[in-house]
Structure 1
Amino acid sequence: MNFQNTKIKMLNLDLKGCVYLNSLSHSQKVAWFFKVVSRLGDGGFWYAMLLLVWIYKGWAYGSTLLYVMFGGAIGTLIYKILKHKTTRPRPYQVHQVIVLGERPLDHFSFPSGHTLHAVMATVVLGNAVPALLVVMVPFTVMVALSRMVLGLHYPSDVIVGAVIGAGVASGIVLMATKLEIML
């Protein structure tokens, strides 16, 4: 099998996953639920998690906040560069069967910035207060699903966003660990 055939099969699989997950939004309750999750993923949920870290850790919270802000800035830079280099249209723009469930924050699909930031914040904040992972991991999964259910991303956009978020978070956690040892 050559590269072109493999690429076509992967794109077809990506589209099938997107169409299936987007079909879940035909239920108004499901669509409403994922709209709420997506909007909370814009920042509200993560601000609440930062507040919980501050309540739990007190003044030690300052460094965690800086790590999350630094990770967020790096993640934003990476996904903006990728979005403008790849210019992949969003699924609802290309496929008439995809129903748009929420207005996008930007023009392009690849990668999912919501997923990238959700994974990054979960790893960094979960490293600071592991007890919060019980809430953050399911929410992060719901954010990732919301992007596909709402017709905004293909599964590959979400997977790559998660991988980038995990990579950025791992770098942040390693850097934070080394800095704290040096201090």
Structure 2
Amino acid sequence: MRTLDPIVKFDFAFSSFCLCHRFNQQVASISKAVSHTGDGHLYIVMAVLASVIDKPNGAMFFAVGLLAFAFELPTYIAIKKIFKRRRPGQFSSLLPSFITPADQYSLPSGHTAAGFVMATLIGHFYPAMFSFAVVWALAIGASRILLGVHFFSDIILGAALGVACASTALALLS
């Protein structure tokens, strides 16, 4: 476990920097709105719209997205159960949490993983929208830190998981 000490120290210091300042309430209100865009509803709307508006690519976008999420969700759950990493507020009472997360553990960030699944798929099917999609996925990840429910390394692993699942689905279906 000693090999993880530098990561744990960095995560705590970074979370302290992000959460322990006088503007944290204002930042949290903006972060809640950004985080909410990663709850999943918007992904369904995007996939359905793509299927209706863009007949040649939309159906494939939808199918690859379903497969990518079929990989991402069980992998995300398994990783959480294996690592059982405490959330920032559970790790230290000095770190505030501004929302109640849906589950107990923090590693990896499911919101970030899902955001990067979508960003990767958008980049493949709609390259002109890729920059926007990546910024959006990064904003979702940042919002999870600023809400006090994830550490920086949770976000990194979530992003890697999302890209890996989307890339695997693309390789299998494209």
TM-score computed with the length of structure 1 as normaliser: 0.86
Q: Distance in 2 between matches of 1:166 and 1:34?
A: 23
Q: Aligned residue for 2:72?
A: 75
CA contact (8 A) 1:25 1:101 kept: no
CA contact (8 A) 1:25 1:149 kept: no
Gaps of 5+ in 1: 178-183
Question: Which amino acid is 1:87 matched to?
Answer: K
Shift of 1:45: 3.2
Q: Pick from 142, 156, 160 the counterpart of residue 159 of structure 1.
A: 156
Q: Aligned residue for 1:93?
A: 90
CA contact (8 A) 1:123 1:169 kept: yes
CA contact (8 A) 1:50 1:125 kept: no
Instruction: State the number of aligned residues.
Output: 174
Question: Which amino acid is 2:19 matched to?
Answer: N
Shift of 1:41: 0.6
Q: Distance in 1 between matches of 2:117 and 2:44?
A: 14
SS of structure 1 residue aligned to 2:76: helix
Matched ranges for 1:28-107 at <5 A: 28-54=25-51, 56-58=53-55, 60-107=57-104
Structure that is richer in helix per residue: 1
Percent identity between the two aligned chains: 26
Q: Distance in 1 between matches of 2:129 and 2:106?
A: 29
SS of structure 2 residue aligned to 1:111: coil
Question: Which amino acid is 2:86 matched to?
Answer: P
Radius of gyration: which is bigger?
1
Q: Aligned residue for 1:23?
A: 20
Q: Pick from 152, 168, 173 the counterpart of residue 170 of structure 2.
A: 173
Gaps of 5+ in 2: none
Distance 1:13 1:71, change over 3 A: same
Shift of 1:118: 0.6
